[in-house]
């Protein structure tokens, strides 16, 4: 079985090339249950108005044949405010792709697709879909479009005008791949593709994402990327454990509720210092340290 490149790294390097769009088109068509054709890739960091924006960037930002915007993001590390990050990304995409003076009807439809490798929220499923509906408080009916609106907007329902969100909780998938979407989720989790995949795009992915097809330079970059991910995961988990233990110990010594809170705070601060120190020693880029820790560059340098 071929050794395949991880999907997140492939999005940053290989899948942005027009000749390789077939892989993403297959993934999107399977997830959205419609035929998706990508016209072009858009710049994820094009209009950064301030320093923090570049750390909220998405992995991929595309336009499909209908003129709709598609955001695809892969997140490996736990983020408590990830739902807010999803909202930020969609809001920014909408505001950036409408010109001043244009009618509101020109607002673009946005799909936010989030592939997360941690337990985001609480739920039993591994794929969640979110969209906007307006329900009557008293009648419980769903607010719809008028006949003239349906004609003008070419949509049949209000929900089709608003952004749609997909959350793929990859680590929660523990079943046999029985459907095309399951095959894609299984690949995202294990990096393996069956000999005869049924899902659209996976056959091509098996060829395009083969590590042996990388140049020596790209293979070195890819191995460094995977090592950095493993190291980050290890450092974060170590810091979390140490922070809890130091906090408990400090709390026991104080013997009061305030002491427990203060001890936990001190423990987390010490763990954070350890994480930053280790990541610096590993020559991990500053922007990655900022993204992982949530600290500013100034705070990191002070540590």
Per residue in 214-258, pLDDT (tens digit) is 888 888 887 877 777 676 666 666 666 766 666 666 656 555 556
Among 36-40, 150-154, 282-286, which stretch is predicted with the lowest mean pLDDT? 282-286
Average pLDDT estimate for 24-50: 80
User: What string of DSSP letters covers 104-158?
Assistant: GGGPPPEEEEEEESS--SS-S-SEEEE----B-TTT-PBP---HHHHHHH--SSG
In whole angstroms, give the CA distance from residue 116 to residue 77: 8
Q: What is the pLDDT of residue 44?
A: 60
Does position 49 have pLDDT exceeding 50, yes or no? no
- What average pLDDT does the chain have? 82
pTM value surpassing 0.85: no
Nearest to 161 by CA among 236, 107, 214: 107
Does position 141 have pLDDT exceeding 90, yes or no? yes
Q: What CA–CA distances, in Å, run from 228 to 19, 198, 276, 283, 289?
A: 29, 33, 14, 10, 11
Q: Band the pLDDT of 55: cuts 50, 70, 90.
A: very low
The domains of the chain are located at 7-212, 216-302
Does position 271 have pLDDT exceeding 80, yes or no? no
């Amino acid at each position: 079985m071929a050794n395949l490149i991880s999907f997140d790294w492939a999005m940053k390097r290989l899948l942005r090339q027009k000749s390789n769009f077939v892989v993403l088109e297959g993934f999107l068509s399977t997830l959205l249950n419609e035929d998706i054709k990508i016209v072009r890739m858009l710049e994820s960091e094009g209009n950064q108005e301030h320093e923090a924006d570049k750390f909220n960037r998405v992995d991929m930002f595309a336009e499909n044949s209908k003129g709709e915007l598609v955001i695809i993001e892969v997140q490996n590390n736990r983020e408590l405010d990830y739902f807010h990050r999803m909202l930020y990304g969609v809001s920014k995409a909408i505001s950036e792709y409408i010109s001043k003076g244009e009618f509101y009807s020109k607002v673009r439809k946005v799909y936010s697709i989030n592939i997360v490798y941690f337990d985001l929220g609480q739920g039993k499923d591994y794929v969640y879909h979110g969209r906007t509906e307006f329900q009557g408080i008293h009648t419980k009916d769903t607010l719809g479009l008028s006949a003239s609106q349906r004609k003008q907007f070419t949509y049949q329902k209000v929900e089709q005008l608003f952004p749609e969100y997909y959350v793929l909780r990859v680590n929660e998938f523990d079943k046999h791949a029985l459907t095309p979407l399951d095959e894609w989720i299984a690949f995202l989790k294990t990096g393996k593709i069956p000999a005869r995949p049924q899902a659209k795009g996976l056959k091509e992915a098996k060829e395009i994402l083969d590590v042996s097809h990388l140049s020596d330079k790209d293979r070195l970059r890819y191995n460094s990327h995977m090592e950095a991910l493993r190291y980050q995961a290890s450092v974060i988990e170590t810091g979390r454990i140490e922070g809890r233990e130091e906090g408990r110990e400090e709390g026991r010594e104080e013997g009061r509720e305030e002491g427990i809170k203060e001890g936990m705070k001190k423990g987390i601060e010490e763990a954070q210092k350890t994480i930053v120190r280790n990541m610096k020693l590993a020559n991990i880029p500053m922007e990655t340290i900022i993204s992982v820790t949530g600290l500013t560059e100034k705070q990191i340098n002070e540590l």
